[in-house]
Amino acid sequence: MERKVRVRFAPSPTGPLHPGGIRTALYNYLLAKQTGGDFILRVEDTDQNRFVPGAEEFIIKALKWCGIEPNEGIGFGDGPHAPYRQSERKHMYREYADKLIASGDAYYAFDTEEDIDKMRKDLEAQGVPSPSYNAVTRQYMKNSLTLPQEEVERRLAAGEAYVIRFKMPRNEDVKFFDEIRDWVTFNTSQLNDAVLLKSDGMPTYHLANVADDYMMEITHVIRGEEWLSSAPLHVLLYRALGFESVMPKFAHLPLLLKPDGNGKLSKRDGDRLGFPFYAINWENRETGETSEGYREKGFFPEAFVNFLVLLGWNPGDNKEIMSMEEMIQLFSLKKVHKAGARYDFDKAKWFNQQYLKAKSDDTLAEILKPLLDEKGYPFDQAFASQFAHLMKDRAVYTKDLLEQGYYFYEDVKTFDVETLKKRWNADAKSRVNELLPILEASEDFTAAALEQKTKDFLTEKGLKIGEVMPLLRIGLAGILQGPPVFDMMALLGKDRSIARLKQNFANFDTLIA
């Protein structure tokens, strides 16, 4: 019988969630939604030394902003497998470690840090590259495999510090199927005897991860490529614990790569190239520093998610703009790429631009309202909607609408003086001052009517468009770029348009002097 799909996103609260983590959560979410399964948020906080205050709250807020909401887990409501924070499940892991001890698949190790450091230095001196605690070196260390049983019991009874290590088989191939990479093989000679339970009773990532996935009935483990080297140990743990029949399917996602050059994407790339690295603002409580997020930059969450989903996957065609519902319908692990995906911030901006353009004028007007209030501009729904309609084709972020089109709400602040020096002279002044009364006298002040009157004027005078229109545009907006001139005038209205043109035309001589 096919099991219900249950997937989990299991970040560690060691810092803010990076784009690769958001993408991992997204792929888990898509599979769960597509199959009618469950998506769980589990916080893996076994390494208390690396805990960063605020990180867990950040993870929850970032997922909520992105619309990637688990139906079980920290911040999203308890399910049948609560608690979902590993530090609160500490008491559950001992039985799994004891089971491995009893079956001979794990052992007690009493070595101090000094003992292990000496072992490594001795082996390095003998020319052994990257020495570790493994199937060979464990024979010469202080553990329950080398010490007499009586001494092991004495040390345990005396409360001597120890860890429990996995007994890695010697020179054995571990083969498992990866949904993205097909069959993967590791030889155990490449692996060390990983610590499973620390001296304080806290499990390491490996034991807690496997035990929790078993207890929470996880069917698919979808995680980043950096965890691929941990998979053979996890496979061996499933076998040793007798859980192989319910071992989840594995899928290791490709790395996110730097926008330029080689290597894995990092926050330094964002700092260096000037783009946000996190989904939302991250405030470092220790340093007081704030890192700008995509939300605060002006991204729509659906645009950010659409950008991320295609970093490593595509539906098999050239389709790029997809709603969350379409992603859910089209997603397949089989179409996830093995190769790393280059992180292109310009492409992210393109996605945001497409989503902005697709929004209705009325919706953009509502989004603009707090920005208008902040600047002290009056809000009129009809005016703001028409304004958004004129400006949105040129904007990447909502704030661009006001930054680029501020002149709809206040007088022009700056002028393209270089263009004026080339175009403004006595003849130009005469032409526009002759046109202005014609436009002012027009009872119909729509864009179409103004355009027709201007064309008639140009025809009558034998003038070209370029002899008048650039000056009208600079007179209205101060620059040559922007919406169509007559659309601008129609929205500004007759009184504001004519008054502004008269005033600015009168000042052009002074500007170019």
> Which residues are known to be catalytic?
267
The structure tokens listed for 401 are 């609408």
Question: At residue 192, what are phi and psi to the nearest 5 degrees?
Answer: -100, 175
Which pairs from 122-126 meet CB under 8 Å and 24+ separation?
Answer: none
Omega before residue 83 within 30° of 0, cis: yes
If 0-12 CB within 10 Å is exposed, 13-18 middle and 19+ buried, where does residue 482 land? buried
| Residue type for position 506 | A
Residue 396: count other Cβ atoms within 10 Å of its Cβ: 18
Q: For residue 166, what is the enclosing H or E element?
A: strand 163-166
- Give the C-alpha separation, 304 to 279, whole Å: 8
CA 276, 282, 283, 288: dihedral to nearest 10 degrees?
-40
| Residue type for position 438 | I
- Sign, CA dihedral 303-304-307-309, equals negative
Strand locations in 398-489 (E): none
The structure tokens listed for 77 are 């409501």
Answer yes or no: are the C-beta atoms of 479 and 473 closer than 8 Å. Answer: yes
- Give the C-alpha separation, 306 to 348, whole Å: 9
Answer yes or no: are the C-beta atoms of 67 and 24 closer than 8 Å. Answer: no
- Give the C-alpha separation, 64 to 58, whole Å: 10
Strand locations in 179-257 (E): 182-187, 195-197, 220-224, 249-253, 256-257
The structure tokens listed for 128 are 């052994």
The structure tokens listed for 360 are 């209705």
- Give the C-alpha separation, 473 to 504, whole Å: 11
Answer yes or no: are the C-beta atoms of 277 and 258 closer than 8 Å. Answer: no
